[in-house]
Amino acid sequence: MSDRTVLVVAHTGRAEAVRSAQLVIGRLAEAGITVRALEGDAGDLSCPNLVEVWPRTPAAAEGVEVVIVLGGDGTLLRAADLARPAGAPLLGVNLGHVGFLAEAEREDLATTVDRVIERRYDVEERMTIDVTVRRNGSVTGTTWALNEATVEKAERQRMLELVVEIDGRPLSHWGCDGVVMATPTGSTAYAFSAGGPVVWPEVEAMLVVPISAHALFARPLVVSPRSAVAIEVLPDTPRAVLWCDGARTLDLPAGARIEVRRGEHPVRLARLHLTPFTDRLVTKFGLPVTGWRGRSRAAAQVRQHPEPGRELTPDESADAVPGVQAPPRCEPAPDGAGTWTAGETEGEDAGPVTGGGAPGGVEGR
């Protein structure tokens, strides 16, 4: 056995996730990698001789190289609660629906495991938020979130009465169903459903998105990651509840104050592909891109070159510029009808861009 260890977390309530986890565990064990599984999951996985069983605590992720998560975004968010304190990267295999956080799809499972065995993956960090709840000046609870922290009403009959504060100054009083405070990662989750903007993951910011607010000024806000956001639940309002990533919850009595800041510890995600976030949006939401022309041949040839002032010729490879991939060259259709077709790229004929998929296909997500 090697000194390498991988934690496997699966949504064992799904038969497909169990089968996928068994394949992953068997392949890792065959490669001589120690595999951990969580108490409560190990029995469902039926691999008693291939896994070490660990309690469902952050200790399970200490010292592991990567945490492979088989399920949807909810499963990955629960696994993040274990992996974040240890700084272990998460590699999600999407067995759910949209799966924005997952890096691979179910059909890529064997390739994904091979990439882990060969250590052919990168790691990126995602911003988190830390949440503190106070009442009468005393701290009554602390938690964190990767996607969002949401203040919601606990009784459907009445609205919440809240005051929003940014950097120690009051902003507005909202009568509403709640407020979502999200990270860029969470901008495509609850905040998106509440009408918030989509924020690219590399943008460092916090979002404040009211839910069904009865107020003149109730627009989604994008604030600095250095800002401190606070929500005060007014004394005469109904009981409220705080949800973080849909998993961790705290009751909020009238008069509670919820303070949100940038998290001290990020969540680390393992990446197999350098897929642009734009392509992820197109793939996950099925966005229509029919009619996209791309760059013209002339524009595609004007590229940065190691020798300043000289343009690449059509025969020169984009390999001359490390990390730059040549875009497809596009030419007008012979009939002059205004439509465009993709020219030959790397010896293969790419047809016209149609349908809702990203041109050329999107790997992973």
Which residue among the candidates 73, 81, 245, 279 is catalytic per the annotation? 73
Please check whether residue 19 is in contact with residue 35, taking contact to mean a CB–CB distance below 8 angstroms: no
Strand partners, 180: 150, 209
In the residue annotation, 73 being an active-site residue is answered as yes
What are the distances in angstroms from CA 126 to CA 72, 103, 270? 18, 14, 11
3-state secondary structure of 344: strand
Pairing of strands 240-244, 248-252: antiparallel
Using CA atoms, how far apart are residues 182 and 193, in angstroms rounded to an integer? 12
- Measured on CA atoms in the order 183, 194, 208, 136, is the torsion positive or negative? negative
CA-based nearest residue to 97, from 86, 105, 108, 107: 105
Using CA atoms, how far apart are residues 268 and 245, in angstroms rounded to an integer? 16
Pairing of strands 206-211, 178-182: antiparallel
Buried b (16+ CB within 10 A) or exposed e, 9-44: bbbbebeebbbbbbebbebbbeeebbbbbbeebbeb
Active-site amino acid positions: 73
